[in-house]
Amino acid sequence: MQIDIVQFDREVCSGTYGRWLEEWGNQCRYLLPDYTGSLLSSKADAVLLLGGHMGVNDRRNHPLLNHCHAELPILVEQGKPILAICLGAQLLADALGGQALTKQRGERSVRQISLTEAGCRDPLFQGVSNPFSSFQWHNDSFDLPETATHLALTESCPGQAFRCQNSYGLQFHPEVDEQIIAGWCQRAKVDETALDEFRESRVEYLAASRRILKNFLEMIE
């Protein structure tokens, strides 16, 4: 399959997801912040939207972010499979009529994520334990669109996963590895407690992350 990977921030990359997609035989096209083309004309089978240091409400200063915000409702209506992570999920929610929230419900480090009843039934989370561990690194969050199905939550941030047609938004980061987290800690000038916690839960984290990506690809196929 062909996957468009939209990278809004050069320092927030696709991590294990990019590597696994390529290892599993998919062709990945990486769209960096200076990309000026249209996703609407892409022949890709699916789109992966990544995170970034900026917020959805800063999109006027980030052309790729702003451009995607305008095109996402059309892509969703067309049935394009989308997996949106962190900033990508906030962008997807806002573009579909929800609301991106600045500096609200922030989380960092490993958190236990609980599935809703709909989440337990959704094919994206089949084979994933409930609750499951994943990694959080966000200052902003979102309120879900009215048309969304709520799939997952944490105690401090209810919007952890949602679905609209064939598109998914994930507030958590299923794609990170130790190198990425270490870089984020350095960039934010914080200690590496989050990295230590990630290492402790790495096996469980990777199992859930891999299963989620596998499920997404199986739905496309």
Nearest Cα neighbor of 47 from 18, 80, 7, 20 is 80
Nearest Cα neighbor of 56 from 66, 46, 48, 47 is 66
Strands 99-101 and 82-85: unpaired
Contact residues for 136 (Cβ-Cβ < 8 A; gap 6+): 107, 108, 109, 110, 111, 154, 157, 171, 172, 173
Active-site residues, by number, are: 86, 173, 175
Nearest Cα neighbor of 152 from 194, 121, 175, 177 is 121
